[in-house]
């Protein structure tokens, strides 16, 4: 059995769904169900006895300790995080509480649990911490991509809080011997992505005749990673990664934001054309850039490929087409998110 935190969020829910689809091992899924945590993501496993959902906070030491003692997982995978840069600019405290303080309390509970295991269980146990490439800061156009030896230079409250959590995980390995693994991924995209992020926002706004907002000149470059490729990478690191090591996970797909939006518009023009015959590109609107906007991220995932044999299965072209088609096929999910109906349901369900 494994324990997954943040397993109702975008990446976490994709990981849980893939895990249960491909493996026979049960999952304890702990999620606080903040605005981005959504049980609709997990509808297909709602009746799966190998999926045990628990509403709760990684910062709740007593709850986490109880779950660990009761279920005795062989691994803990920490996806739980506040993750939106714009929200961190307007309200940084939530990011410090979840990403720093919450990770600290989670580590303390896991450390106490791990120390109480017998020698064989202790040797088999792993704590995998999922992080971001944003901890490395920003790159100039011709700089080499980030590798695992890059210095941390976070530029937003979000990335600073994730950098702090990474440092805590590292410290718990070197100080206490906790068997940890850390992954730093590039920009994910795919099914169940909360509609405030660029790709799902553009798809949703395009279909609803709203402006497609582009920060600044739209030339901010990101390395795009299909979320299901990210899930396979995490499974691989969990099974074969060297303890105490960090592995960068990237898609080898550097694209400027404006090109990403143009690609989405081209696919929508093909799959669901506008009634007036115009391209969705006509809805593109340039807006004032956000404060501290990093110009370029890029991940060098060579270490993961050489040591563990992992490479992404999707190109950006194949992954983005699958993503657009998923949103077209799952408009009810999008409407529940944007209307807030699922939040009302959660309040009623967990009153």
Q: Looking at the annotation, which residues are catalytic?
A: 133-134, 158
Long-range contact pairs involving 323-329 (C-beta distance under 8 Å, separation at least 24): 323/189, 323/190, 323/191, 323/193, 323/199, 323/203, 323/226, 324/203, 324/264, 324/267, 324/268, 324/271, 325/271, 326/190, 326/191, 327/200, 327/203, 327/204, 328/207, 328/271, 328/272
Name the DSSP letter for residue 152: P
Do 258 and 212 meet the contact criterion of CB atoms below 8 Å apart?
no
**CA pair distance 260, 17, nearest whole angstrom:** 26
Place of tokens 């906790």: 178
**CA pair distance 193, 271, nearest whole angstrom:** 20
The radius of gyration of the chain from alpha carbons, rounded to an integer in Å, stands at: 20
Nearest CA among 76, 30, 34 for reference residue 54: 30
């Amino acid at each position: 059995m494994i324990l997954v935190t943040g397993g109702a969020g975008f990446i976490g829910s994709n990981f849980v769904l893939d895990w249960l689809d491909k493996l026979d091992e049960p999952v304890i899924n702990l999620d606080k169900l903040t605005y981005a945590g959504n049980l609709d993501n997990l509808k297909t496993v709602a009746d799966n006895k190998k999926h045990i959902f628990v509403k709760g906070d990684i910062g709740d030491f007593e709850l986490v300790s109880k779950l660990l003692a009761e279920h005795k997982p062989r691994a803990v995978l920490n996806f739980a995080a506040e993750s939106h840069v714009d929200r961190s600019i307007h309200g940084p405290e939530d990011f410090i509480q979840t990403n720093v303080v919450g990770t600290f309390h989670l580590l303390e509970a896991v450390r106490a649990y791990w120390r109480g295991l017998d020698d064989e269980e202790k040797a088999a146990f792993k704590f995998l911490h999922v992080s971001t490439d944003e901890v490395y800061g920003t790159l100039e156009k011709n700089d080499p991509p980030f590798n695992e030896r890059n210095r941390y230079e976070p530029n937003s409250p979000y990335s600073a809080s994730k950098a702090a959590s990474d440092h805590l995980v590292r410290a718990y390995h070197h100080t206490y011997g906790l068997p940890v693994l850390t992954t730093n991924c590039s920009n994910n995209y795919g099914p169940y992505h909360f509609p405030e992020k660029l790709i799902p926002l553009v798809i949703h706004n395009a279909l609803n005749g709203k402006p497609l907002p582009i920060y600044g000149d739209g030339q901010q470059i990101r390395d795009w990673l299909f979320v299901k490729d990210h899930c396979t990478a995490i499974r691989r690191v969990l099974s074969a990664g060297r303890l105490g090591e960090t592995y960068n996970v990237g898609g080898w797909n550097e694209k400027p934001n404006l090109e990403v939006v143009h690609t989405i518009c081209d696919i929508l023009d093909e799959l669901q054309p506008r009634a007036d015959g115009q391209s969705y590109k006509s809805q593109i609107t340039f807006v004032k850039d956000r404060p501290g906007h990093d110009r370029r991220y890029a991940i060098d995932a060579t270490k993961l490929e050489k040591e563990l044999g992992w490479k992404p299965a999707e190109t950006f072209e194949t992954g983005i087409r699958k993503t657009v088609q998923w949103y077209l096929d799952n408009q009810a999910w999008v409407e529940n998110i944007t209307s807030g109906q699922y939040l009302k349901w959660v309040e009623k369900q967990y009153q």
